[in-house]
Chain A
Amino acid sequence: MSAASHLSRGAPRSGWSRFLLIGLVLLATAFVIGAPVAAVFVQALSQGLGFALQSLADPDTRAAIWLSVIVAVVVVPINTVFGIAAAWAIAKFRFPGRKLLLAIVELPFSVSPIVAGISYLFVYGGQGLFGPFLEAHDLKIMFALPGIILATTFVTAPFVARELLPLMQLQGNGDEEVAATLGAHGWQTFFRVTLPNIRWGLLYGVVLCNARVLGEFGAVSIVSGNIRGETNTLPLHVELLYHDYNAAGAFAAAAVLTLVALVTLFVKTILERVTGSA
């Protein structure tokens, strides 16, 4: 829809009420969303850029950044494959229980991260479902990297699927049916026909999933054990520094995460421009 058709629709609005509404919304957004983002950078630089960079170079902070990167490197591909598979199955086929499966895929959106973390503790923790088995085989999942990965996977499960589903439903099965009729194999159809059709939506889903993985806090705070320099992800490290009264350090770490969020939104805007669906 072009901007012009936006304007021509509806009633001819008197100028002042239009400007008042837009102005109020912009003002509210500046207060509600703009101010917190600005505050992160102002606080991070409150003791100078040098201090901010120095606190990022601290070994514990570096360890936290690395841990978060490792978690993202594992979780994002898992949830991308799952997201594609789920969207493919749900959008392209009809089968009994399809709506239920869709509800289950979206369930992590509605479940509190704290509930997710506690649930995983009861599965893999010492007194949990698999606790005796894991202990007997000397495997450590809770309060270690695998637990952080599992809990983060749960919390960020729906992001890729949620981006792809509407896209695949809108595009229908026509292209895939033509490819199959022309003798393409399953994987040929996927890589040459479907993937080019969904690539921008997929990319945004992946980028958003990545931002959520790096930022996950509640579920990880239950399963990580909070060992400084070992099982502290970057958001947990922000909390730790904050409670250590090292505000400038905490906000320097927070600024890194905020930059990731801003890049995510920037990529989204670019993608929408590419696909012309802004």
Chain B
Amino acid sequence: MSVGGVGALPRRRPSRTKGKGQGRVVPGFRLSLGLTLLYAALIICLPLATLIVVGARLGPADYWAVVSSPRAVASYRVTLGAAALATLFNTLYGFALAWVLVRHDFPGRRVLDAIVDLPFALPTAVAGVALTAIFAKNGWFGEPLAALGIKVAYTPIGIALAMAFTSLPFIVRTLQPVMEELDGEIEEAARTLGAGNVTIFFRVVLPILVPALLAGVSLAFARCLGEFGAVIFIAGNQPYNTEITALLAFIRIEEYDYPAAAAIATVMLATAFVLLVVTNALQAYARRHELAP
């Protein structure tokens, strides 16, 4: 799937709207736009707008009391920390994975390319129970790690692991198209001028890839912050220690504490908005500084 691939492609000029839909050759403007607007309003905007209204109805003092309660703050810390760890891991691993897929040919390359999308296609709950089974005390990886004194399941490391699993494709799929456009000429030019491998990578290749990398990273980070299904099985879910923000919102709903759930959900929504703006800005920057057309 092509995350963030829209702008990376050469674009031809779309039909311009003249007057009230007159003079356009391609048909279906009103129908397609009408359907899209109806759907966007009813399915996407209405629920989110309602959430914001419900959150706002709480009043500033009550709102602040909920979102700054020690348990909520602890959940932000757990979520942000695990998401940062997962994104750091995926930045290194995802970069290497995309690089190997674009630059090298080896037996099984197509299979590797296909299974990068597995975390997209696999239900998050299935990923959750599978990772828990592997990393539990008596699991395939859990047992040898426990012998070394490392505990993964039911700790923040387990949360980061589940987040890393579900968000990996975002970084790989954002980097891949840009890496494909990067042909070897610039690197060869640098080599002719006497640059070594390390210099070429850090001074030539990396600066070109940084905008796409950052766009993928912010997309993956947003995904980590919102992840629920994969995390709750492996997290242990102890308040203050291994409770993520999404779970806290879920618990407030189960307790019928709807105002508190609304307040926490708006914090998550606002964070997602901020990250979305950052991602779009980075993608626009990456487009402007594109290499060859």
Binding between chains A and B: yes
- Measured between beta carbons, the chain B residues less than 8 angstroms from A90 are 36
Q: Give A82-112 as 1s and 0s: 1 = Cβ < 8 Å from B's Cβ atoms.
A: 1011101111111100000111111111111
CB <8 Å contact, A119 and B125? no
Q: Which candidate, B60-68, B129-137, B149-157, is the interface stretch facing chain A?
A: B129-137
Task: Give Cα A90 to B293, complex, Å.
Answer: 21
CB of A80 to closest CB in B, whole Å: 12
Partner of A10, one of B29, B100, B103, B139: B103
- A139 is an interface residue with CB less than 8 A from chain B: no
CB <8 Å contact, A112 and B103? no
CB of B270 to closest CB in A, whole Å: 10
- Measured between beta carbons, the chain A residues less than 8 angstroms from B223 are 109-110
Contact status of A92 and B14, CB under 8 A, knowing A114-B226, A177-B25: yes
- A189 is an interface residue with CB less than 8 A from chain B: yes
Partner of B126, one of A117, A127, A162, A258: A258
Interface size class of B (residues with CB under 8 A): 35 or more
Contact status of A32 and B105, CB under 8 A, knowing A9-B184, A94-B14, A242-B233: no
CB <8 Å contact, B104 and A115? no
CB <8 Å contact, B246 and A114? yes
CB of B79 to closest CB in A, whole Å: 10
CB <8 Å contact, B134 and A39? yes
CB of B218 to closest CB in A, whole Å: 10
- Measured between beta carbons, the chain B residues less than 8 angstroms from A268 are 114, 117
- Measured between beta carbons, the chain B residues less than 8 angstroms from A181 are 25
Per DSSP, are chain A's interface residues mostly helix, strand or loop, or mixed?
helix
CB <8 Å contact, A88 and B32? yes
| Residue among B10, B100, B139 with most chain A CB within 10 A | B100
Contact status of A162 and B2, CB under 8 A, knowing A29-B112, A169-B11: yes
CB <8 Å contact, B118 and A118? no
CB <8 Å contact, A110 and B222? yes
- B165 is an interface residue with CB less than 8 A from chain A: yes
CB <8 Å contact, A111 and B272? yes
Residue of A nearest to B123 (CB): A215
Partner of A11, one of B130, B131, B200, B262: B200
Q: Give A153-180 as 1s and 0s: 1 = Cβ < 8 Å from B's Cβ atoms.
A: 1100101001101100110111011001
CB of A150 to closest CB in B, whole Å: 7
- Measured between beta carbons, the chain B residues less than 8 angstroms from A115 are 51, 226, 246, 249, 265, 268-269, 272
> Top 6 A-B pairs ranked by shortest CB distance?
A215-B123, A112-B226, A172-B12, A9-B184, A186-B27, A217-B229
Interface residues in chain B, defined as those with a beta carbon under 8 Å from any beta carbon in chain A: 1-3, 5-6, 8-17, 24-29, 31-33, 35-37, 39-40, 43-48, 50-51, 54, 93, 96-97, 99-100, 102-106, 108, 110, 112-127, 129-131, 133-134, 139-141, 164-165, 168, 180, 183-184, 187-188, 191, 197, 200, 219, 222-223, 225-229, 233, 246, 249-250, 253, 258, 261-262, 265, 268-269, 272-273, 275-276, 279-280
Interface residues in chain A, defined as those with a beta carbon under 8 Å from any beta carbon in chain B: 1, 3, 6-11, 18, 21-22, 24-26, 28-29, 31-37, 39-40, 43, 81-82, 84-86, 88-95, 101-123, 127-129, 150, 153-154, 157, 159, 162-163, 165-166, 169-170, 172-174, 176-177, 180-181, 185-186, 189-190, 204, 208, 211-212, 214-218, 221-222, 235-236, 238-239, 242, 247, 250-251, 254, 257-258, 260-262, 264-266, 268-269, 278
- With contacts A32-B168, A103-B280, A110-B226 known, what are 4 further pairs, Cβ within 8 A? A173-B26, A211-B121, A215-B123, A250-B129
Would you give 25 A-B contacts (Cβ < 8 Å), ordered by A? Answer: A6-B103, A25-B96, A25-B97, A26-B112, A28-B96, A36-B122, A89-B33, A92-B32, A93-B24, A103-B276, A104-B45, A112-B225, A119-B51, A121-B253, A122-B258, A166-B5, A180-B27, A186-B27, A186-B28, A186-B31, A217-B229, A218-B124, A238-B123, A254-B123, A278-B110
